[in-house]
Amino acid sequence: MTVTATGTRTESAARRYLKMAAKGLWGMASRRKRMSEDSSPLARVLNLVDLTLLGVGSTLGLGVYVLAGQVANEMAGPGVLISFLLAAVSSFFAGLCYAEFASRVPKAGSAYVYAYVAVGEVAAFIIGWTLILEYAIGTASVTRGVSTYVDKLADYRISNWFTEHLPLNTPTLAAYPDFFSFGIIVLMTGLLAFGVKESSVVNNILTFLNLGTATVAVVTSAIYANPSNWALAPHTNTDTGKTDLGGFLPYGVKGIVEGAGTCFFGFVGFDCIATTSEEAKNPRRNIPWAIVLSLSIITITYCSIAIVLTMLLPYYELDRAAPFTEAFKGMQLMAVMWIVSVGAIFALTTSLLGTMIPLPRIMYAMAQDGLLFSIFARVDGWTKTPLIATVVAGGLSGVLALIFDLDQLIEMMSIGTLLAYTVVCMCVLILRYTDTRSRGSPPNEKSEPITFTRSVGALVNLERAATPSKLTTGAAGVLVFAEILLTLALCVLLKLAGNDLYDDPKPWLGSLLALLVPLIVVVLMLGQQPKANVSQLAFSVPGLPYIPALSLFLNLYLMVNLKVETWVRFLVWMLIGTVLYFSYSLRHSTERLLEIAEKKRGAAAPTAPNGVSNGSGGAHPELNDLPMSVLEGRTYL
Ligand SMILES: NC(=[NH2+])NCCC[C@H](N)C(=O)O
């Protein structure tokens, strides 16, 4: 008897602990950031032109001077134009989602903040932590791009000297310590620490010069263009014996799709605009429009380049590393060749600014929320920049650029970007179909009880609700979740099918349809759900839920195509993040402390209007550090 009693007691204690743990985990994961219209200590100085040029500058980089030639030569032939258009469409989809969020949340931190207000703390931490890696590796690799390019212009004298005198000869490390890259990062960190307006002026000048040289390259190539290069006959290379096919699409749809995957990375970088929300004038209007405008300029530039380059020479004769430079050299147009070479350096420098600006701002945003060390949230009184975060970010990227073999790390950048795009697009779906009244506080009016039958009916909006309610919010949540799972499964299947899909698709058709049909049904059902009114937003994504659904598909597809090693490295980084989250962030999370403070205030009401920073933290000494003002006027989105 006693044994049973103890057994039952232990069991119920175990169940109680499990329940508590589950509740704690759920509370942690679903804790969302509340917004307040408090002013930012950062300087609000960037206007629409600055923001647009920031987007163009950070995005147009190696893409202009390398990608078009490389993709045409290796994958798509003249069809590289369609590859760029496909990449543009998928980047636009993501860009529209960023634009909508920027008009909802005018805060520094981009995808990190968006996830925090829409999904919850854990998702936000994951995305913030991933973005730190993305931008650090992005910065290091763009700098390495500058240094390699300058080395090439100097006839490889720099690399020859260093490999001879200071070789590193260690796997995972670079061939030699790249002091040139390190120096560039130090210089840029200095500029960024000095002020964001100053950095933006430099960016504006360099971006104009970059667009200018790109125009020179396009116009010169257009003068010498030969449209018959789009309708070549098959050609056999006498040296290698390889036959290059002719026509506009020598490698068909497969070549175009493969090329689009590479071209996509030419469009990475515009999200930089969304990290500067606290430094933008009228961010709710200017940031969304800057994203759309810069993506339009970038698409026009890339497509013009793809057209003229493939008309200038037969695609198989284009140089893979520096197509314009080599083509103009071959045509004895030395002045144009030099203009284009210098233009490439401008382009890379602005790309570099574009990767260096976001990193400290993400760190700043996370530190402000208590998820990273508070020292990163300090803003210098004179420069009005997050000075310490800027210097630490520069140091981190500098070391990466100095000694690491970046070819091995470059794909980690892609994971970060794609994950951020995916999360932002998911957040748009969630927020649009959410009854905001049902989040945080219960709705005032009495509603009918939610029964199982009503919930099932809500999946197709049987009651024809015109605005989101608690019931339809739940249904939309289930549908979005199902959509994500089905899209992911479809992408994995497409990856497994690989080239078979082009050569012999029959064996795969059954399983493809088994995923595609339910996915389409789920998206159509989501289309039936009532949407929140967004008329007050300066920008909202059109074509919901179809555009975010396509965006989700494209991003996940590119993600499953990354190398396994990349995923393993990413998991290691995430593991480090998990340790940090549980040992630091969870305890210091401002939102969590606010929740505790509010509970205490509720208990002590009505006498303690400000309740916390009077040294009464008690069991939560961290509360004493919480400024009173943060408790006031905060609402869920
Ligand atoms: N956040 C980044 N990873 N930025 C890198 C931008 C690279 C740029 N799109 C280029 O073609 O050179």
Ligand 1 atom closest to 416 (CA): 3
Task: Identify the pLDDT of residue 610.
Answer: 38
pLDDT for 530? 92
Q: ∠ CA(288), CA(292), CA(298), 5° rounding?
A: 140
Cα separation, 367 vs 365, whole angstroms? 5
**Which H or E run contains 635?**
none
pLDDT score, position 156: 87
Using the atom order of ligand 1, give the atom closest to the CA of residue 138. Answer: 3
Which residues have C-beta atoms less than 6 Å from ligand 1? 59, 61-63, 135, 138, 142, 266, 268-269, 351, 355, 413
DSSP 111-129: HHHHHHHHT-HHHHHHHHH
Residue closest via CA to ligand 1's atom 10 equals: 61
Q: What percent of the chain is modeled with pLDDT above 90?
A: 40
Arithmetic mean of pLDDT, 409-422: 85
Q: How far is the CA of 143 from the centre of ligand 1 (A)?
A: 11
Nearest to 31 by CA among 611, 593, 600: 593
The model's confidence at residue 414, banded by pLDDT at 50, 70 and 90, is confident
Residue 22: band (very low, low, confident or very high) from pLDDT cuts 50, 70, 90: confident
The DSSP letter of residue 462 is: T
Q: From the CA of 271, give the closest atom in ligand 1.
A: 1
Higher pLDDT, 620 or 15: 15
pLDDT digits (tens, 9 = 90+) for 81-90: 999 999 999 8
Q: How confident is the model at residue 6 (pLDDT cuts 50, 70, 90)?
A: low
CA of 66 to the centre of ligand 1 (A): 12
pLDDT tens digits, residue range 215-237?
Answer: 999 999 999 999 999 988 887 77
* pLDDT at residue number 615: 40
Question: Among the ranges 38-42, 122-126, 497-501, 517-521, which has the highest mean pLDDT value?
Answer: 517-521
563 or 311: whose pLDDT is higher?
311
- Bin 57: left if φ > 0, else alpha if -120 < ψ < 50, else beta: alpha
What Rg, from alpha-carbon coordinates, does the chain have? 27
How many Å lie between the centroid of ligand 1 and the Cα of residue 547? Answer: 24
Query: Which atom from ligand 1 is nearest to the alpha carbon of 62?
Result: 12
Amino acid 611: pLDDT = 38
Which pLDDT value is given to residue 631?
53
pLDDT tens track for 149-196:
888 888 888 888 988 887 777 777 777 888 999 999 999 999 988 888
Kindly give the number of the ligand 1 atom that is closest to the alpha carbon of 64.
11
What's the CA gap between 546 and 429, in Å, rounded?
A: 10
Ligand 1 mutation target, pool 56, 59, 298, most atoms within 8 A of CB: 59
- Mean pLDDT, the chain, rounded, equals 85
pLDDT of 37 > 70? The answer is no
Six-digit token pair at 552?
């989700």
Measured CA to CA, the distance from residue 110 to residue 95 in angstroms comes to 12
Ligand 1 centre to CA of 452 (Å) is 49
For residue 425, give the nearest of 489, 365, 484 by alpha carbon: 484
Distance (Å) from CA 20 to ligand 1 centroid: 45
Tell me the CA–centroid distance for residue 269 and ligand 1, in Å: 5
- In the prediction, which pLDDT does 604 show? 60
- If you measure from the C-alpha of residue 270 to the centroid of ligand 1, how many angstroms do you get, rounded to a whole number? 9
Q: Could you tell me the pLDDT band of residue 95, with boundaries at 50, 70 and 90?
A: very high
Q: Which residue has the higher pLDDT, 565 or 293?
A: 293
| The amino acid at 172 | T
Ligand 1 atom closest to 63 (CA): 11
Indicate whether 121 pLDDT > 60.
yes
Which among 129, 157, 186, 137 is positioned nearest to 404, based on CA atoms?
A: 137
Residues forming a β-bridge with 46: 280
CB 279 within 8 A of CB 45: yes
Alpha helices in 225-357 (DSSP H): 252-263, 283-312, 323-330, 334-356
67 Cα–ligand 1 center, Å: 12
Q: Is the peptide bond before 606 cis (omega within 30 degrees of 0)?
A: yes
What's the gap in Å between 393 CA and the centre of ligand 1?
17
What CA–CA distance (Å, rounded) separates 274 from 295? 13
∠ CA(55), CA(59), CA(61), 5° rounding?
Answer: 140
What are residue 243's DSSP bridge partners?
Answer: 236
Please say if the pLDDT value at position 606 is more than 50.
no
Structure confidence at residue 608 (pLDDT): 36
What share of the chain has pLDDT > 70, as a percent? Answer: 90
Contact 505, 493 (CB under 8 A): no
C-alpha triplet 354, 356, 357: angle, nearest 5°: 70
The lowest-confidence range among 199-208, 254-263, 431-440, 610-619 is: 610-619
Q: Whose alpha carbon is nearest atom 12 of ligand 1?
A: 61
pLDDT confidence of residue 190? 92
* Element holding 594 (H helix, E strand): helix 590-604
**Helix (H), strand (E) counts: the chain:** 25, 2
Distance of CA 591 to the CA centre of its chain: 24
In the reported structure, the alpha carbon of residue 354 is separated from the centroid of ligand 1 by a whole-number distance in angstroms of 8
Q: pLDDT tens, 451-462? A: 888 888 888 888
State residue 151's pLDDT score: 87
- Distance between CA atoms of residues 340 and 346, nearest Å: 10
> Candidates 142, 149, 305: which one to mutate for ligand 1, based on the most atoms within 8 Å of Cβ?
142
